[in-house]
Structure 1
Amino acid sequence: MASKNLLCGTCDRRSRTTEAVKYCTDCQEGLCSECLDFHGSMKSSTSHHVIDIHAVDGIGFNISKFCKVHPDMVLEYFCSDHDALCCRSCMVSDHRSCDKILPIEVAAKDVKISTIYEEIVTDVRMLNAAVNGLEDKKEKSVYTIDDSKVAVQQEVQYFQKRLQTRIQEIAVALMCEIDKVHTELSDKAKSDMNKICDRKNEIRNISEQFESVSKHGSESQIFMLINSMKEELNCHVNEFQEFLSSQKAASLLYKESDLLSVMKSFGSVEIKETPFDIKYKPFKAQKAQFLQQQRKLPTKFQLDTKFKVPGANVIGISVTKDNRLFLCDRTGSKLFVMSDKGKQLAAIRMDGRQWGIAMDEDKHTAWVTLPDTPCVQTVDIVKMEKGRLIKVPGVCYGIALIDDEIAVGGYGKIYIISKTGDLKKTCN
């Protein structure tokens, strides 16, 4: 593409040969100095994104402007409800009832500080690292196969000397079997290496294109590239995961036979396979970028219901999906459960006054801090019953759940404990 775009596209169509000095990423062609002036003065191209001709050397802006469903229509909008680019025909057929359809120029604003942009950058980098890591380990595996072949052959030769001439023919047969297995393993390893190289090149092309567009493209082009390459990245991730799970480090082992008197073979050749220790976590594409998430926040708040909880001094609160309120009492031992309209549903007697509460609805459990004990106590939010106590090294107030661990705050310290009570870490 670089050599093709070194010439001005406009002049070329007029049978003139002029060297291009700029490149229009919207027109996808080079422009000489004279044509650049005309290009900038035309109303239809005043908003086009023009960059230096050397910025596209070897890398193209292959961002399709046209709709896949309606090939003759240009992509002009982004539907945040469906997380998809769309044209005018798409809007009529598929997005008529959608509330959040924005022009691409508006939706793409500040795309470089969006969550999805950061995740795409991270995902491409991680995928590159994983492919490179797999390539290195597979290359070492090839040498391991060769080394193990030599080691096994030496063992066979040593065993052969002990058995002398009566088993010479069997030794030759086993050596042939070793060569056969080695050839099969080597061929498979080399075939896998070729696949890895192909995949590495594909990922590098995606990475280079993404880096080039990120550096030199307009926000709209970056936004369109991100959305158009999500499906392609998903395919690469799924294919790479499947391919990665099938990869193992192979070597040859020799299993010696002890039937010297009635020997029919030297033994057998076994393949030892060890999965590669490559950590790779597939990317999780966000359905909406940072700015769109901001727009989902309510802009107006209004008091709905106000009620008192008799006999309680509420200090901590947690709400379930069915709108039940779990209220911690700092002066007594009762954990109050209320409806969102103020009706008391239960009063669970805990093993002390409470302070903070964290909810794990998937496991029907709430975790409550008891600063006087000091402990964390579980609550069954279905049966409305208290559960076991977990001892905390120091006084505890605030609480949060992080995966399978609990973070509890005290005086100048945060304790990270497991759900079984094991202290994992203390943060000062």
Structure 2
Amino acid sequence: MASGFESSIQRGCDFIHDFSCSPCEENGFNTEAHHYCTQCTKYYCQNCVSKHNGLYQKHAVLSRKDVKKWEAAPGVTDSLERCGMHPGEALKLVCGDHDQLCCYVCVAVGHRQCSKIQHIPDVAKGVQRNIEFQQIPKKIAEVQKQFEKMKEARLKNTTSLKKTRAAISDEIKTIRKRINEILDKIEKTTLQELDGMIAELEKKLKKDIETCDKMTIELQNMIAAFQTKAKSSESKSYIAYRKSQNMISQANDHLRGIAAIECYNVTFQANNLIEELLSAVKTFGANEEQTVMTKQRKDPLSDPNHVFSVSEYKEYNVKMSDDVYKCSISGVCELPSGEFVIADCNNWKVKLLDKEYRVIDHCDIPEYPWDVCHIDGNEVAVCVNSELHFINASKGKLVTTRKISFTHDCYAAAHHGGQLYISSGTALYVYTMSGQKVKMLYEDKSGYRTVDQCAISNDGEIIYITNYSKHQLITLDNNGNRLALLTDPDMKQPSGVHATPTGHVFVCCHGSDTVLQVDKDGKKKFATLARKEDVLNRPRDLFFSSSSSSLIVGGVKDTLLVIKLI
């Protein structure tokens, strides 16, 4: 046993007892207890129990055979004095090396080598006169008060959440009411068109019925006249004969005109676009948890006005052994798993990269893959001439699942809110996921690749378009109205554009060999983050990975450039 322990427990051995004699322990001896008094709630050895019994003859004293009752007896081990590591043991010692209260088991198991083991009665001498000891109740009361305040704040927060839930519920009902009003208006317009069509057809039917009635009467009169004139002179009979022939001819003309249309009917062709658009929408809006933190340092990734700087440039080889030509990376996107999918238009391939940007799989494409965009989950879409090919990336493999064909070129694609934004090179179209055209959002036929690539803000309100031929970044609202037009000496033939969920916007420029950061309104350049001397070569597309705070840039090169931002 360590010397400190021996000095504090005089003449005591280092045996570990289940229960130690209370009077012996108070006098510095380590003696095993064989009895327990339920009235005194103390333990006694053979010597001490004799003295106890002489003084307290009516106390109930339990022997070792009733040791289970010792542990169950009230006051045997006060919770304050019980060891946290060994709940059946009382705290008797202090380890000065670890500044830790210990029971005998603690010392035997984890503190045998410690030099500052002391008996609690020795350390506790004079503690009640200690100022810190005297302030403990006050400090506990203060902490308790803080917890009470915290509880009150949490209760208020609970109430406010219920009110927030009610307010959001009312807002959702208002949205639902507006949608119902829109649907009611659509229904009313559709029924008005139907009523107008039915009324027009009923008018034609009425006219045919009137013609039938009129001709029936005229034919009846002609029969009566013919029969009367047929019995008179031949001249009158001849006149009746000729008029009857004319009447029959006219009647047959009317019949042919009416009979040409066997039946008037109306059919209804449902507009599936409404149902399809509503089906693509999962909720009325996004419920976002907002946690207010105290003294929280501002995260640059969450600040759309943060201007990034570069901490390092690093290249990663993406050329495969069977690639015939130099790589030309025309599209880059990231999967939720952290893997990347890139389009290599020179080698007609779509490549899957792991988190370290190593090629782990690929699939061949029949034509030039111009762009790639993430759809949802493990699904991406690749632009191939006038088609959009959907590819699933799962378990390290790429599998083509389906494709959509368009009547125009499919040069670039973006996905937002269950809709596809397709660039034809001179126009931007909006399509459903099944390939049904919703509208043409924007068009510029004044040059070549005036509508190159596009990016959508996280809320879907802003759309960024690169105008390759006129060296411009165009910013639109979601109705196609132009909000801003940006030019800059470092912006020559802009190709790729990317908008992060928090509002940062990045552009890579094929002609000036630059990567730029612009403000979320698309009105000014924040910074030029890379140039040709920073190993750029004809950049075509880029993607910002929030997980690594890095820009992944692809161009006419066998390597990807990864720019670490801070």
| TM-score > 0.5 by shorter chain | no
Q: TM-score, normalised by structure 1?
A: 0.34
Instruction: Give the number of the structure whose alpha-carbon radius of gyration is greater.
Output: 2
Q: Which has the higher contact order (CA 8 A, sep 6+)?
A: 1
The structure carrying a bigger strand percent of its residues is: 2
Q: TM-score, normalised by structure 2?
A: 0.27
